[in-house]
Chains A and B, each alone.
Chain A
Amino acid sequence: MTGSVGVVTPQLIPFETPLDLERGGRLPRYDLMVETYGALNAQKSNAVLVCHALSGDHHAAGYHGPEDTKPGWWDSYIGPGKAIDTDRFFVVSLNNLGGCSGSTGPLSMNPETGKAYGPDFPEVTVLDWVHSQARLADYFGIEQFAAIAGGSLGGMQALQWSITYPARVKNAAIIAAAPRLTAQNIAFNEVARQAIMRDPNFFEGNYADHEVIPASGLGLARMVGHITYLSDVSMGKKFGRRLPRDDRDAEGVNFAVEQYLRYQGEQFSGRFDANTYILMTRALDYFDPTNTESMPLPSVLQGTTCQFLVLSFTTDWRFSPSRSEEIVDALIQAGKPVSYSRLESTHGHDAFLIPDATYNRIFKAFMDRVFRDLGGDE
């Protein structure tokens, strides 16, 4: 009944108009790495923007080749017949500015110096991402998104969209997110940043000049992050107090969970850029729609015109259900149309990525209504 979008090819879209950034920086020009799935209809009314989380990228669904075994990060929910049904919607997914998967970021060439930005890449915020995504919409001729959806930091972008460009978003799906980070959230991000910065190979972000990467720091940052994405229950189920599968691994590994975390850390440091990690965590830390507007959240949401779906997961402790309920309650206070479910899951924060029948049922019911409102036929 449901299928895969199959093999997809990303495209690099250049933007030559300078972008002034919220925290004072400026990008003279930039590229966005983008994937699209499905077809844009003649009225250009069936577009869905998918926003990625901290370490995600443009590759949200399908495969990059016939040999590719790992599909995009939200493949469980994007595809023919899936919640975000690519037979109905034109899905746009991008690597955000400052990323390391092809969009302009610390790895890109700074036109002013002729060498990579590195640590000099200007600070970007969720609001900057939203502005850059609006320009991406312009590029495709999309006046208004039928829906904008994302989990975690991606959900925050959907929320920011509803506030910044109310006329350009008809529906917003905000999943496993929070209206702003708590001190505990920021603290975990800071530990991750410190792990990177204290790596002797970091060289204040200029590691490229020394032809090294702060692999151990970045790996450690990922290990800390990864623990906060899982739950006590899911780690207990997956590893318990089991011993490592074999003893060929690095010395000092006593338990299976240690082996797993080290593996995750190594994988991550091989594929992700340390400066991007610092930049993305800072964007998370600074996200606060009430701060930008210096108003309480219900007042900030007063100007929104879209319909909201908010979802949380019971064992998520990075952004617990009560954090999602802050968004829900603010929307209720503002008198805005919102639906909410607190879904049972053992998977912690990662639950938003994992296939689940009830999650899918509710997400799909919402998206089916989004499609019906387009006046589309079944």
Chain B
Amino acid sequence: MITHSHQIPNWITIHSRVLDLGCGDGKLLAQLVKSHHIDALGLELDPAKIATCLDQGLSVIQQDLNRGLSNFNDRQFDTVIMTQTLQAIRRPDLALSEMLRVGREAIVTFPNFAYIRNRIQLGLAGHMPVNPQLPNPWYDTPNIHLSTFRDFEELCQTLSIRILDKDTSNLSGKRTWLGTVWPNLFGEVAVYRLTKES
């Protein structure tokens, strides 16, 4: 279980409208409702997790992210969050564009495939990495679009997305000094705050 980056709440405005794509059990949204009094909505596919969200008083919609966000208006949210899900989406590029259509800002986190442990497993051992960050074997994994800090930033450039903030954390959501100095090699989880507005 990966804990959300401790940085995320710092990027949320009090009383803002927040959409969480793949909100899971609603832990992050519930925390933000408490701390930031946000107007929260989650999208989630698993009915069991939807029930857990409802237990916490959250509004949550069962929706497949691969279907897009066409049922949402432009700029309907202040922030659209997607944690550890981008790599499991059929078209991450379209997802990012949609997030920044319905939201002014987006917060995205994903596993950094260039993390040193993955490089060792792939580069030295010659195996697709299997570890706490990427626990599934290659033939049965939801992670179909793994990328790195560098890849992601190139995509942002292609899509004219501005990076407002960038952070890295370990799987417990904490920053490490090595990761901060050299994110593409020592950052386990990439954390970005993005916008398309100038």
Contacts and interface: CB of A to CB of B under 8 A. Distances in A.
Interface residues of B, number: 20
A180 B63 CA distance: 22
A332 B71 contact: yes
A174 interface: no
A192 B120 CA distance: 70
A366 interface: yes
Contacts of B41: 332, 337
A372 B59 contact: no
A339 B61 contact: yes
Contacts, number: 54
Interface stretch (A25-33, A153-161, A266-274, A340-348): A340-348
B54 A369 contact: yes
A361 B51 contact: yes
B47 A338 contact: no
Nearest to A342: B62
Interface string B28-55: 0000000000000100000110111111
Nearest to B57: A369
Interface in B35-89: 41, 47-48, 50-55, 57-63, 71-73, 76
Contact of B59 (A329, A333, A339, A342): A339
A365 B62 contact: no
Pick the most buried of B55, B62, B72: most chain A CB atoms within 10 A of its CB: B62
Interface string A315-329: 000000000010011
B50 A362 contact: yes
A248 B85 CA distance: 61
Nearest to B61: A340
Q: Which of A307, A325, A339 has the most CB of B within 10 A?
A: A339
Majority SS at the chain A contact face: helix
A349 to B, nearest CB: 19
Given A329-B71, A332-B72, A335-B76, A372 B50 contact: no
Contacts of B58: 339
> Considering residues A325, A332, A342, A372, which has the most beta carbons from chain B within 10 angstroms of its beta carbon?
A332
A124 B174 CA distance: 62
Interface string B70-112: 0111001000000000000000000000000000000000000
Contacts of A199: none
A332 B61 CA distance: 10
Given A332-B61, A341-B47, A343-B47, A362 B76 contact: no
A99 to B, nearest CB: 33
Given A332-B72, A333-B71, A339 B50 contact: yes
Contact of A358 (B47, B52, B72): B47
17 contacts: A328-B61, A328-B71, A332-B71, A332-B72, A332-B76, A333-B73, A338-B61, A339-B50, A340-B62, A340-B63, A358-B48, A361-B51, A362-B51, A365-B52, A365-B54, A366-B54, A369-B54
Given A341-B62, A362-B50, 9 more contacts: A337-B41, A337-B59, A338-B59, A339-B54, A339-B58, A339-B61, A341-B47, A342-B62, A372-B57
